[in-house]
Amino acid sequence: MLSRAFAVASSVSFAALLSAGQSIALELPLPPEGEDVVGQIQVIKAKYEDTFAALGETHDLGYLELIAANPGVDPWLPGEGTDIILPTRYILPPGPREGVVINLAEYRLYYYPEGKDVVHTFPLGIGREGWGSPVGNTRISAMTSNPAWYPPQSIRDEHAADGDPLPKVVPPGPDNPLGPYKLSLALPGYLIHGSNKKFGIGMRVSHGCFRMLNHNVLELAGLVKVGTSVRIIDEPYKFGVSQGKVYLEAHTPLQDEEQKMTLMDKHAVVINTLLKRDESAGSLQLDWEMVREIIAGEDGLPIQIAEQGQALATHEEPVF
C-alpha cells in the first residue's frame, strides 16, 4: 500500500512547485456538486529569515497548521532552502455551504458569498483552555471599524492578578487588542476581530473570541454584512470526495489537549464521523493502513483513503 508521505507528495501539483514563494489570496472556486475538496497543497523554499509566524501571515495560514504539515522543521529557524509545505488544500466543512462557517478543530473560518461559486478561508486564533470558544449557530449582529476595547471585569481581574492591570477602556490604535475591525456575534460577549499581535493566529490564545490577521479581518468585513449567518463547529476529522476519490483530513482534537485521547478513542470518532456523513460509507473499500497513518499524523492534509464504487471486498480484516 502507498505510504502517507507518498500520498502527500503526489498531491502537490507541479504548477504549485513552479510558483513557489508566491502568495495567493485564499479565495477558492467551489468544486462541482457532490464534491468537497478545494485548493492545492504548495511547497516553497524557506529563506534564511523565514519563520512559520511570518510565513503564516504571508500565505493566510495559522501557526499550528504549518507545524502540523511540516513535522521536524524548526518553526523559528526552518533554514535556508528547506522545503516548506503550505497546507492550502482543504476538505470543506460538513453542512450547508452558506454564510460563515468556523471549524474550531482546524482554527479556520470559511465564508461562502451568496450567489457566487467561491469560498474564502482564513486562519483563526480561538479560545484557550478554560476560555473555550462556543459551538452553535449565530449571526453577525454588528460591525465596527476601529473599535475601542472595554475589557470585561473577568479579564481585568485576570490581568490584575498577573500584575498587569488594564484600564476600563482601550482606545482605537496600535495598542488595541481588537485590531482595526470587530464583528460582533449574536452570542453575547463573542467577537470576530483583528489583533495587535501577529503571533497567535491559528492557536488557542484568546478568551473565547476569534482572532484574525488584520488584513484578513478587513477583507472579511468587506464581504459580510449584519445578519450574515455564523455556524461554529468542532470537527477534527473531515471526509470529502473529489473526482471519485474519498479523502480524510485529520486535525488534533481540541479535547485531546485536555483529556489525552487514546488512538482507539480517535479511531472510534473517525468511524462515527464517516458513518454520520454517508450511510453508504460502510460499503467502501477503505485503505485502513492509510487511515491509521492519517489519524496518527494529524497533519491537516486531505489524503485519499478510498475510491467510490469499490465495494468492500471482505469484512474479515480487523478495522484497527
User: Which positions are annotated as active-site residues?
Assistant: 193, 209
As a whole number of angstroms, the distance between CA 197 and CA 213 comes to 9
Query: Coil, helix or strand for 141?
Result: strand
> Can you read off the three cell numbers belonging to residue 32?
462541482
Match 469560498 to its residue by C-alpha cell: 119
Are 107 and 69 in contact, with CB atoms under 8 Å apart? no
As a whole number of angstroms, the distance between CA 39 and CA 90 comes to 6
- Supply the Cα-derived Rg of the chain in whole angstroms: 20
Match 522543521 to its residue by C-alpha cell: 73
Are 312 and 285 in contact, with CB atoms under 8 Å apart? yes
Let me know the angle formed at the C-alpha of 155 by 151 and 156, rounded to the nearest 5 degrees: 75
Are 143 and 181 in contact, with CB atoms under 8 Å apart? yes
